[in-house]
Amino acid sequence: MSQTQTISKKWTCDRCGVTVSRIDGEAAQAPDSWESSAAGQFCLVCRREQAAEAALDSTPSDSPVAERAKRRRTALIEFEVSRTPEHADGVIARACRTSVSAVTKARRNLNLPDPPPPSQASRAKQREVASR
């Protein structure tokens, strides 16, 4: 990773104001799921929202509600697949509360490779991620 790692005792999302800190109060890097950019720091929830909003921005405003909802859902799934392409489709589907086939379709749309077959270690990791 070439990005400069900043450490802080407390991380605050610039969009929703949620804060995270370590239980022991030690300074730490921002959570893996957070994004630090020129625009600020954003938690995973807000990153998902931003992905969904970006999709809606590109949807004509006179689109039917169902079409807008579909685009929003697709954007969320594509965001998650892009963020964690190494996760199994089933794990991503649970995170997005969608079907496995929808995740597989998004993966194909984005030309992302299939996830590696789950090993014992990565299954444990996926459980940990999914429970976050």
Sites of contact with Zn ion (CB under 5 A) = 13, 15-16, 18, 43, 46
Q: Which is nearer to Zn ion, 14 or 67 (CB)?
A: 14
Please state the closest distance from residue 117 (CB atom) to Zn ion, in A: 34
Joined tokens for residue 127? 């459980």
Q: Which is nearer to Zn ion, 18 or 112 (CB)?
A: 18
The CA distance from 42 to 53, in Å, is: 14
Joined tokens for residue 116? 């590696």
CB 106 within 8 A of CB 81: yes
Please state the closest distance from residue 14 (CB atom) to Zn ion, in A: 8
CB 82 within 8 A of CB 110: yes
The CA distance from 35 to 48, in Å, is: 11
Please state the closest distance from residue 19 (CB atom) to Zn ion, in A: 10
Q: Which is nearer to Zn ion, 56 or 100 (CB)?
A: 56
